[in-house]
Amino acid sequence: MRLYLSVISAAFVLLTLGQPAFAAPLPPPDSAPTRVGASGYRIGPDDKLDINVFQIAELSRTVTVDSGGKVLLPLLGSLQASGRTPGELSDDIATALKKSFMKDPQVTVSVKEAQSERVTVDGAVVQPGVYPLTGRTSLLQAVSLAKGPDPRLANIKRVAIFRTVGGSRRSAFYDLGQVRSGKAEDPEIYGNDIVVVDTSGSKSFFQNFQGSFGLLGMLVRPW
C-alpha cells in the first residue's frame, strides 16, 4: 500500500516539475463537495452512519452504507440511504417505524465517517495512507491524520498539496513550521487531495524521482 501511494505521489510531482518551489495558494477543486455536517451533505456508498432512536437502544447502531446505497436496519430491513441527507434519512426511518411499530419515534442520523471524501497523505509521515475527511480539514489536520511528520526524516518546510483544478493537476508547497506558528495560512484540504511531506537532505522525496518518468505508466488504477 505504501509503495502504491508513493508511486502516485511521485508521479504527480513529475507532472509539476518546473513550477516554482512555493506556488500560489490552490483554489478549491472543480466541484467542492458539501461538507459532512452541513445540511446539504448527501450520504454516499461506504459512509458510516450513527443511527439513534431515542430510548430504543436495540434500534440504535452504527451502520455502513452498502455499495448499492442501502442500509439494513432491525424491523425495517433495507432502506435507501445514498443520495439522502442525514435529516431526510432520519425522517424516512421515523416514518417507517411509525407505520407499524412506534407512535412517535425520534430518530437522529449523523455521518460518522464519509468515505466519499478522502485525502491521501504520503511522504515523510509516520503512517502514510488514505484517510476519510469527517468535516472541514486543514493541512495541519490532514498531516496529523497520518500521525504527523516523521521526526527523523521529514522536511516540514516543503509540504505539497496536489489537486485537480480546471481539469488539470496543480500543486502548491507550504512550510508547515510557518503554518504551525501562524505566520502562514493553514490551507483547507478537500476530498481527493494528495498531501506529500518531503524528506530532508539528500533523501529528498521530490528530488529522488526527478527524471523517473516511467513511473507515470504505473498509474493504471483509480486511487
Nearest-angstrom CA–CA distance, 135 and 49:
14
DSSP 149-196: B-TTTEEEEEEEEEEEETTEEEEEEE-HHHHHTTSS---EE-TT-EEE
> Does domain 2-33+117-218 fall into CATH 3.10.560.10?
yes
Query: Considering the chain, what percentage of its residues have pLDDT values greater than 70?
Result: 74
How confident is the model over 103-151, as pLDDT tens digits? 889 999 998 887 767 899 999 999 999 998 877 899 999 999 999 999 9
**Look-up: residue for cell 425520534?**
106
Residue located via cell numbers 504527523:
148
For 20-36, what is each residue's pLDDT tens digit? 345 467 887 765 556 66
User: Which of 107, 111, 110, 83 lies closest to 97 in space, CA to CA?
Assistant: 107
**In terms of pLDDT, which residue wins out, 218 or 159?**
159
Q: What is the CATH number of domain 48-113?
A: 3.30.1950.10
pLDDT of residue 218: 31
Q: Are strands 154-165 and 194-199 parallel, antiparallel or unpaired?
A: antiparallel
Domain limits of the chain? 2-33+117-218, 48-113
Given a cut of 50, whether residue 213 has pLDDT beyond it is no
Tell me how far apart the alpha carbons of residues 4 and 9 are, in angstroms, rounded to a whole number: 9
User: What pTM does this model have?
Assistant: 0.60
Query: What pLDDT sits at residue 16?
Result: 43
